[in-house]
Amino acid sequence: MTLSAQNSSENIPKAAVYVRVSTDEQVQHGFSLAAQEESLKNYALIHGYSIHKVYRDEGKSAKDIKHRPAMQELLSDAEKKMFSAIFTYKLDRFSRSLKDLILTMDKLKEWGVDFISLQDRIDTASASGKLMFHIISAFAEFERNIIGERTTFGMARKNKEGGTVTKPPFGYQMVDKRLIVSEDAKKVVEMYTRFLEGASLNKIAKEYGFSVNGIKKILQNRTYVGEVKFAGERNNGVHEPIMDKELFEAVQERVKR
C-alpha cells in the first residue's frame, strides 16, 4: 500500500454496526441478524464509512440495555472513540425503553458519536439529526433532574419520619435499614465522659484509634441523643439514643470553649 493510499484509508471515518434479534422476532418478522447486518454494512459503505466492527446480540430482549453483552461492548468502545458513528436497523433494535434510549443517545452526543437508524431515517450526522440530539439531551437532563428531585424528596420524607439517611455513626449499626445500638455505644459514652472530665481531643483520639477530627465529629453528632438531620433540618429519630441530652449539651459547651 502506498503512503497516499494509507493516509486516505486512515481518513475514512469508522462505523460500528449494531444488530439484535430475539428468537421470536426472527421467526415472526424476519429480522435476522444476517439481513440487518448486510443492509447496515451497505448503507454505511455508501455513506463513506469503513466498518470498525459488527456488534451482535442474538436472542436478547430490548427491555434492558445492561444485560446485552454486545451493547455493553459497543458503548464501552464508543466512549473510547474507536469509531465515529453507530448504525442500527431500527430504534427498537437498539432499545425499546424510551428512558434508556434518551440517556444513551445523550452519552453518544457527549462522546461525539453519531447515531443512524436505517428504517427510522434518523441520522444525527445531518443538521436535522443534530437538532434531534439537542432535543434528546434536553430530555435526558430533565430525566436526571426528576430523578434527583425524587431522591431528595424521598430522603427528606424519610428524615421527617425519623429514619436515618446516611451511614450509621460509630456506636450504631444498620439492620434492615434501621439504626441499632452496637457494642461500641459504651465507647461513645466513655469518649463524652472523658472529654467532659478534661481529657484533650488528642488524648482521646489516641486512646480510641480515631483522628482528632473524627473525635470532634463524634462529640457533635446529635444522632446519639435520638435525632436525625437532613438538609439542615433536625427531627426526632425512631432509633434508640445512646446518651441523655444533659451529657451531650455539656460536651457541646466545652467544645465551643
Whether residues 9 and 134 fall in one domain: yes
**Domain assignment of residue 228, yes or no:** yes
Confidence band for 28, pLDDT divided at 50, 70 and 90: very low
Instruction: Between 144 and 252, name the one with better pLDDT.
Output: 252
Say if 237 falls within a structural domain.
yes
Output the pLDDT for position 111.
Answer: 92
Whether this prediction's pTM lies above 0.85 is answered by no
188-205, pLDDT tens digit by residue? 999 999 998 999 999 999
The span from the CA of 79 to the CA of 16, in Å, is 12
Q: Between 162 and 242, whose confidence is greater?
A: 242
CB 93 within 8 A of CB 100: no
Find the Cα–Cα–Cα–Cα dihedral 140, 143, 148, 150, rounded to 10°.
-170
Higher-pLDDT residue of 230 and 160 is 230
Other beta carbons less than 10 A from residue 132's beta carbon: 16
At residue 147, the pLDDT reads 63
Which pLDDT band, with edges at 50, 70 and 90, does 235 fall under?
low
User: Do 74 and 176 lie in a common domain?
Assistant: no
Note whether residue 128 is domain-resident.
yes
Answer whether residue 178 shows pLDDT above 50. yes
Number of domains in the chain: 2
Domain end call among 88, 114, 145: 145
CB 254 within 8 A of CB 194: no
> Kind and range of the H or E element at 18?
strand 14-21
**Domain residues for 172?**
160-256
Q: CA-CA distance, 77 to 96, in Å (whole number)?
A: 22
Are residues 15 and 89 both part of a single domain? yes
**Beta strand pairing status for 14-21 and 85-88?**
parallel
Contacts of residues 191-199 at CB distance under 8 Å and 24 or more positions apart, as own/partner, are 191/215, 191/218, 191/219, 192/219, 192/243, 192/247, 192/248, 192/251, 193/247, 195/219, 195/251, 195/254, 196/247, 196/250, 196/251, 196/254
Query: Binning pLDDT at 50, 70 and 90, where does residue 165 land?
Result: very low
- Computed over every residue of the chain, the mean pLDDT equals 78
- Is the pLDDT at 13 greater than 50? The verdict is yes
25 pLDDT more than 80: no
23 and 122 share one domain: yes
Q: Which range has the top average pLDDT, 3-17, 78-92, 134-148, 169-183?
A: 78-92
Confidence of residue 227 (pLDDT cuts 50, 70, 90): confident
| Co-location of 135 and 166 in the same domain | no
Q: Is the pLDDT of residue 120 over 50?
A: yes
Domain closes at, from 112, 145, 178 = 145
54 in the same domain as 93: yes
Q: Given pLDDT bands bounded at 50, 70 and 90, which one contains residue 168?
A: confident
Q: Answer whether residue 175 is part of any domain.
A: yes
Using a pLDDT cut of 70, give the percent of the chain over it. Answer: 71
Is 128 annotated in the active site? no
Strand partners, 236: 227
Q: What is the CATH number of the domain that holds 113?
A: 3.40.50.1390
Report the first-to-last Cα separation within the chain, whole angstroms: 81
What whole-number distance in Å separates Cα of residue 22 and Cα of residue 33? 10
> For position 238, which CATH number holds?
3.90.1750.20
Higher-pLDDT residue of 109 and 159 is 109
Out of 8, 22, 50, 61, pick the active-site residue: 22
Are residues 115 and 187 located together in one domain of the fold? no
